[in-house]
Structure 1
Amino acid sequence: MAELAGLEDAKTRAVNEKHGDDHGVNLGKLRALAKRLKTQQELARGLWETDDSAARLLAILICRPKAFERDDLDAMLRAARTPKVHDWFVNYVVKKNPHCEELRLTWSADPDPVVASAGWALTAERVAKQPEGLDLSGLLDVIEAEMKDAPERLQWSMNLCLGQIGIEHAEYRTRAVGIGERLGVFRDYPTPAGCTSPFAPVWIAEIVRRRQGE
C-alpha cells in the first residue's frame, strides 16, 4: 500500500476523476508492479479488502481468477463501484472463472443497473464468441424496449450487445441497425479522430466493412 501511495500522481487522478475513477496511479506503472509481484492470491484478497481502487486494480492483476467461488465473485462485483475496477474485474477475472455463465444470467436480471451492466457485458461476449443457445431475437426485444432509458453504464453494455449482434450475425444486422437508428443512443457521442463511434449503426457498418476488406 505504501508503494502504491508513492505512485499516486495528482494529474493522473484529475484525469481519472473525470471518468468516475478515484485513484491517481498510472496504469502502466501499476502493471509493472503486478509483473514484479506475479500471481499471489492471498495478497490479492488482502488488497481487495482495503477498498482502495488502485489496490483493487492491482489485486485483479495478480489474482488467480479460477480460485474464486461464485459467491466471492458476486460480492466483489457488487463492491466494485468505480468504472475501471468494475470493467477490469469483469474482463480479467469473471470471464476466466467457471461460474461466469451462471453469474451472467443472475446479474443480467439484477435490479441494480451497475450489476446488470456486468451481465450484459458478459452477454455481449457470448454473442461474439459462443452464441449457441442465446435467444438473439429476444435480446434485441429487450434492448429495443429498455436501452434508451437505461442508466448510463447499463445503457453502454446493452449497446455493446446490440453492436455485437449486428456485427457477428448477418441475419440480425438489419434489425440491429434499425433499433440503433430509432433509439439514437450515442448518436452524438464525442468520438476522437481515428476512432469508431459507439453509435451502433456506424459501429456495425465500420467493423463489417473492415472485415469484408480483409
Structure 2
Amino acid sequence: MTDATVSQVLDQLAALDDPKMRAVNERHGDDHGVNLTKLRAVAKALKTNQPLALDLWRTDNTAARLVALLICRPKLFSADDLDRMLRESRSPKVFDWLVNYVVKKSPHAEELRVGWLADPDPVVQSAGWALTSERVVKRPEGLDLSGLLDVIEAELKDAPERLQWAQNYSLGLIGIHHPDLRARVLDIGERLEVLKDYPTAPNCTSPYVPIWVNEMVSREAART
C-alpha cells in the first residue's frame, strides 16, 4: 500500500489518542492512548489487508502495530517473520496480541513454542509459555506435563515478572484441566506463594494458583 494510506491510518489513530488513556497505558508499558474499542473499529473498517498490515508494522507506532495485528493474515508469516516481530515488540499489548491473535493461528506455532521456551531472554520465554498454556488446554497430547511442572517448580519463584506471570498461568491451567496433577499443582502453589498477595478487585479471581484452581474447579462442578 502507499505511504498515503499508512499516513491516513496514522492520522486517524492520532485523532483518537486520549492523553488520559495514554497516561493509564503508560503505567503498563504501552505508549499509546487509543481506546481499544475504537482501535478495533478502525481495523474493522480497513478489513483484512496483509500489505497494509506490513506497512503499519514497519512504522514502529504502537497503535498502528495493534491495527496491523488485527488486519493481517497470520498464516502468511514465516517462523522467522514471527520471531523477529516478537523481538521487536516493545509494548506489552503488542507482544500479547502478536502471540494470541497471530502466532497461535500460525502453522509455525509449535516450532516457535519449543524455540522460545529455550530462549535465554525471559520475555521471549514468556511467549513460549503462553503457547504452552494453549496446548495444556486444547492439545495436551504429547506434552510432558510433569516435566513442565518440574521447570515451573524450579524457576517460578525467582522468575522475572513477565515470565513469572506466564509460568504461573500454565501452572494454574495444568491444575484446572488435569485432575491427576492437581494435588501437585496446589502443593507447588502453596509452597512458592507466587502472587499470593496480589491485589484482586471484588468479583475477580486471584491469580494465586491455589485460590484460582479451586475456584475454577468449584465452578465447573457447580455446572455439572
The equivalences for 1:32-71 within 5 A come to 32-71=41-80
CA distance in 1, matches of 2:93, 2:47: 21
Moved over 3 A (4+): none
What residue is the counterpart of 2:6 in the other structure? none
What residue is the counterpart of 1:15 in the other structure? 24
Residue by residue over 1:87-112, the C-alpha shift from the partner in whole angstroms, topping out at 9 and shown as x without a partner, is: 01000000000000000000011011
Whether 2:13 is the aligned partner of 1:4: answer yes
How does the TM-score come out when normalised to structure 2? 0.95
Residue 41 of structure 1 aligns with an amino acid whose one-letter code is: Q
CA distance in 1, matches of 2:204, 2:28: 18
Whether 2:99 is the aligned partner of 1:90: answer yes
Whether 2:196 is the aligned partner of 1:187: answer yes
The equivalences for 1:1-214 within 5 A come to 1-214=10-223
| Percent identical | 68
- Count of residue pairs brought into register by the alignment: 214
CA distance in 1, matches of 2:49, 2:192: 46
How does the TM-score come out when normalised to structure 1? 0.99
CA distance in 2, matches of 1:22, 1:194: 29
CA distance in 1, matches of 2:56, 2:23: 23
RMSD of aligned C-alpha atoms? 0.5
Gaps of 5+ in 1: none
CA distance in 2, matches of 1:156, 1:7: 31
Shift of 1:81: 2.1
What SS does the aligned partner of 2:116 have? helix
What SS does the aligned partner of 1:115 have? helix
CA distance in 2, matches of 1:125, 1:186: 21
Residue 128 of structure 2 aligns with an amino acid whose one-letter code is: G
What SS does the aligned partner of 1:104 have? helix
CA distance in 1, matches of 2:123, 2:172: 20
Gaps of 5+ in 2: 1-9
CA distance in 1, matches of 2:186, 2:59: 44
What residue is the counterpart of 2:4 in the other structure? none
